Amino acid sequence: MRRFYLIAAIIGGIAPYATYFAYLTWVPGSSSALSLAWGNPIAAATLMDFSISCLVFWPFLFSEAKRLGIRHAWIYVVVNVLIGLSCALPAFLYAREKKNPA
Protein backbone atom coordinates (compact mmCIF):
# COMPACT_ATOMS: atom_id res chain seq x y z
CA MET A 1 0.00 0.00 0.00
CA ARG A 2 2.93 2.34 0.60
CA ARG A 3 3.74 2.59 -3.08
CA PHE A 4 0.07 3.24 -3.89
CA TYR A 5 -0.09 6.05 -1.29
CA LEU A 6 3.11 7.59 -2.61
CA ILE A 7 1.87 7.55 -6.21
CA ALA A 8 -1.51 8.91 -5.10
CA ALA A 9 0.21 11.76 -3.21
CA ILE A 10 2.27 12.67 -6.27
CA ILE A 11 -0.76 12.62 -8.56
CA GLY A 12 -2.78 14.45 -5.92
CA GLY A 13 -0.13 17.16 -5.79
CA ILE A 14 0.08 17.62 -9.55
CA ALA A 15 -3.55 17.27 -10.67
CA PRO A 16 -5.08 20.21 -8.74
CA TYR A 17 -2.42 22.64 -9.93
CA ALA A 18 -2.58 21.34 -13.50
CA THR A 19 -6.32 21.99 -13.47
CA TYR A 20 -5.89 25.42 -11.90
CA PHE A 21 -3.19 26.52 -14.33
CA ALA A 22 -5.28 25.25 -17.25
CA TYR A 23 -8.08 27.47 -15.92
CA LEU A 24 -5.71 30.45 -15.77
CA THR A 25 -4.79 29.98 -19.43
CA TRP A 26 -8.50 29.93 -20.26
CA VAL A 27 -9.42 32.93 -18.05
CA PRO A 28 -6.43 35.16 -17.17
CA GLY A 29 -6.33 36.23 -13.53
CA SER A 30 -7.85 34.40 -10.61
CA SER A 31 -10.19 37.08 -9.28
CA SER A 32 -13.28 35.12 -10.32
CA ALA A 33 -12.10 31.73 -9.08
CA LEU A 34 -13.81 31.97 -5.69
CA SER A 35 -17.09 33.15 -7.17
CA LEU A 36 -16.96 30.22 -9.60
CA ALA A 37 -16.34 27.80 -6.73
CA TRP A 38 -19.63 28.86 -5.10
CA GLY A 39 -21.27 29.85 -8.39
CA ASN A 40 -23.68 26.94 -8.76
CA PRO A 41 -25.15 24.26 -6.48
CA ILE A 42 -22.94 21.44 -7.79
CA ALA A 43 -19.73 23.43 -7.32
CA ALA A 44 -20.87 24.62 -3.88
CA ALA A 45 -21.73 21.06 -2.80
CA THR A 46 -18.34 19.83 -3.99
CA LEU A 47 -16.53 22.62 -2.14
CA MET A 48 -18.55 21.96 1.02
CA ASP A 49 -17.78 18.23 0.80
CA PHE A 50 -14.08 19.00 0.40
CA SER A 51 -14.11 21.48 3.32
CA ILE A 52 -15.78 19.01 5.67
CA SER A 53 -13.39 16.25 4.59
CA CYS A 54 -10.43 18.51 5.43
CA LEU A 55 -11.87 19.33 8.84
CA VAL A 56 -12.32 15.61 9.55
CA PHE A 57 -8.82 14.80 8.29
CA TRP A 58 -7.02 17.17 10.68
CA PRO A 59 -8.12 15.56 14.00
CA PHE A 60 -7.51 12.11 12.47
CA LEU A 61 -4.06 13.27 11.37
CA PHE A 62 -3.01 14.57 14.79
CA SER A 63 -4.49 11.59 16.63
CA GLU A 64 -2.72 9.04 14.43
CA ALA A 65 0.52 11.03 14.39
CA LYS A 66 0.56 11.12 18.18
CA ARG A 67 -0.31 7.43 18.46
CA LEU A 68 2.42 6.36 16.03
CA GLY A 69 5.02 8.96 16.96
CA ILE A 70 5.01 10.70 13.59
CA ARG A 71 6.79 14.01 14.05
CA HIS A 72 5.94 17.30 12.35
CA ALA A 73 2.32 16.35 11.62
CA TRP A 74 1.53 20.03 11.04
CA ILE A 75 3.31 19.73 7.68
CA TYR A 76 0.35 17.73 6.35
CA VAL A 77 -2.02 20.55 7.32
CA VAL A 78 0.19 22.98 5.39
CA VAL A 79 0.18 20.63 2.39
CA ASN A 80 -3.61 20.35 2.75
CA VAL A 81 -4.04 24.13 2.67
CA LEU A 82 -1.48 24.87 -0.06
CA ILE A 83 -2.12 21.91 -2.37
CA GLY A 84 -5.18 20.01 -1.20
CA LEU A 85 -6.51 16.94 0.49
CA SER A 86 -5.72 14.92 -2.64
CA CYS A 87 -2.03 15.26 -1.77
CA ALA A 88 -2.06 15.62 2.02
CA LEU A 89 -4.14 12.52 2.82
CA PRO A 90 -2.16 10.01 0.73
CA ALA A 91 1.11 11.63 1.86
CA PHE A 92 0.10 11.15 5.49
CA LEU A 93 -1.10 7.59 4.83
CA TYR A 94 2.26 6.89 3.21
CA ALA A 95 4.08 8.19 6.30
CA ARG A 96 1.71 6.20 8.51
CA GLU A 97 2.39 2.96 6.60
CA LYS A 98 6.11 3.66 6.65
CA LYS A 99 6.03 4.18 10.44
CA ASN A 100 3.76 1.22 11.17
CA PRO A 101 4.14 -1.47 8.44
CA ALA A 102 1.63 -4.28 8.70
Instruction: Identify whether the C-beta of residue 76 lies closer than 8 Å to the C-beta of residue 88.
Output: yes
Which tens digit of pLDDT belongs to each residue from 6-35? Answer: 888 988 888 887 877 776 666 666 566 666
Question: Domain total for the chain?
Answer: 1
pTM of the model: 0.79
- Which among 4, 22, 17, 11 has a CA at the least distance from the CA of 83? 17
47 Cβ neighbours under 8 A, 6+ residues apart: 37, 38
Dihedral class, residue 40 (left if φ above 0, else alpha if ψ from -120 to 50, else beta) = beta
Which structural domain, as residue segments, surrounds residue 69?
2-99
pLDDT score of 37 more than 70: no
